[in-house]
Chain A
């Protein structure tokens, strides 16, 4: 809770006041990567492993720069996954793949989750089958997806969708089922028509848990992208990594890992920041 608000509310309960950690503590999270990086450089420089197994961070850094800022020479060969200067293209392809499937999963997961949370009929009807489907390992769907959608965009999107669906569906279903009855009754008593309860009560009340589900789901969508891209795609960070592996470019593979890590982190931060105004009330 912001301190300013507390001052504006005399006699307010000091709920949620937390001891602030000193500022330097937040920088500790950066110290670990720095130490790892230095250690990695030392090990690489000592020549313990061949550069094919463990390229030096400086080499990876060069490749990273080349990936995003290099000159691709305007050359494209059929069947060859380009590297230099194509970072943004690969990234955009992966992001688009993940985003399209994630948004679809969020919409479907929210609608079905609300149905499960709000209607005992829907629960009795769907819960067993959904739980059974949820128990299927994600990549067990892959062969089926390949048969149904062929190698490429369709099956990639389908797999990402399935992976991203469950966290949203379960979070929305559980959270709406647990909305206190008192809130629903108050809303009814104040004149809220039944058909608007989901919008005025269930969704806002469930939102903090739903956001947790959305974050999990987004991480999963981003994780699954690479697997979806390993087969057949010619654009995408995963496709680049696969091509790099085939041509023995460990440095470029590591570039891909770094891109996945940083973009995944940023996406999560973005989602948290965007949802913040709506879940602030639930802060301890």
Chain B
């Protein structure tokens, strides 16, 4: 990262009593949570509880019906490069090579060609995709595609990363490898990350803190600190404390 100057400080993302309804359907019922600078907040909830809607509101794709979203105290009014979002299927543009996909954000913001090249090299290296610059997204494996989607967002050096079940479409082995990879990546370049998932194991592997959502209409019913260190490899899966916590959290999620 040296060539790119000092690292970006993680942002402080706050949802304050966020409500969202579509017509008569209330999806979010006063969600309040905070992703603090540089931490990974895993938002866990039962399937169909409105997790993705919450993330879309935080990303600025949907306006909240009531309540506010604040990034470092400023209200969020629309999508912005400072809140990089990665969805389950990834956001890569199928018509662009990997290089052009990664350069998309910096170019959109009018960075110089040299800058763009440096940023692309940097995120390629960080995501282990060096050598695949000329490949089209469809020529990459599922795991590579998701890493590339994250790299595409990281190229904008966002203070906040929003991940919507980013590994949900991958097989279990690949997913585990992605968890370890993402942990290492975020350890290397801390970024405030809000991860939405229905997978308890994923939440416990990646999250520093957990926010549990209720069934729809969703609100935060519990928050807890994940009591495992930053160096969380797959070994932790065998830790009796991890197994126990996972079972407890799963109970809570299913109970809504």
Contact = CB atoms under 8 A, between A and B. Distances in A.
Given A13-B138, A204-B93, A282-B95, A190 B108 contact: yes
A281 B132 CA distance: 15
A182 B131 CA distance: 27
Nearest to A15: B138
Contacts of B140: 9, 12-13
A6 B208 CA distance: 39
A13 B141 contact: yes
B81 A190 contact: yes
B141 A11 contact: yes
A12 B135 contact: yes
A207 B176 CA distance: 37
| Interface of chain A: mostly helix, strand, loop or mixed | helix
Interface residues on A, range: 20 to 34
Interface in A6-26: 6, 8-9, 11-13, 15-16
Contacts of A187: 93, 104, 108
A96 interface: no
A37 interface: no
B87 interface: yes
Contacts of A269: none
Interface string B112-153: 000000000000000000011011101111101000000011
A127 interface: no
A191 B87 contact: no
Contacts of B105: 190-191
A100 interface: no
A15 B152 CA distance: 22
A182 B59 CA distance: 13
B139 A185 contact: no
Interface string A182-204: 11011111111100100011001
A205 B95 contact: yes
A164 to B, nearest CB: 25
Nearest to B81: A191
Given A191-B105, A204-B93, A12 B139 contact: yes
A1 interface: yes
B94 interface: yes
Contacts of B109: 191
A28 interface: no
B228 interface: no
Interface string B76-103: 0011110111010101011110000000
A208 to B, nearest CB: 9
A5 interface: yes
Given A1-B139, A182-B89, A190 B95 contact: no
A266 to B, nearest CB: 27
B139 A5 contact: yes
B156 interface: yes
B155 to A, nearest CB: 8
Given A11-B141, A189-B79, A281 B136 contact: yes
A9 B85 contact: no
Most chain A CB within 10 A, of B85, B95, B138, is at B95
B108 to A, nearest CB: 4
Interface in B19-70: 59-61
Given A185-B61, A185-B79, 5 more contacts: A1-B139, A13-B139, A185-B91, A191-B80, A191-B109
Interface of A: 1, 5-6, 8-9, 11-13, 15-16, 182-183, 185-193, 196, 200-201, 204-205, 207, 278, 280-282
Interface of B: 59-61, 78-81, 83-85, 87, 89, 91, 93-96, 104-105, 108-109, 131-132, 134-136, 138-142, 144, 152-153, 156
Which 10 pairs show the lowest CB-CB distances between chains A and B? A186-B91, A190-B105, A191-B81, A191-B108, A192-B108, A189-B79, A281-B95, A188-B79, A191-B109, A204-B95
18 contacts: A9-B139, A11-B144, A12-B135, A12-B139, A12-B140, A12-B144, A13-B138, A185-B61, A185-B91, A189-B153, A191-B109, A200-B108, A205-B93, A205-B94, A207-B95, A278-B95, A281-B94, A281-B95
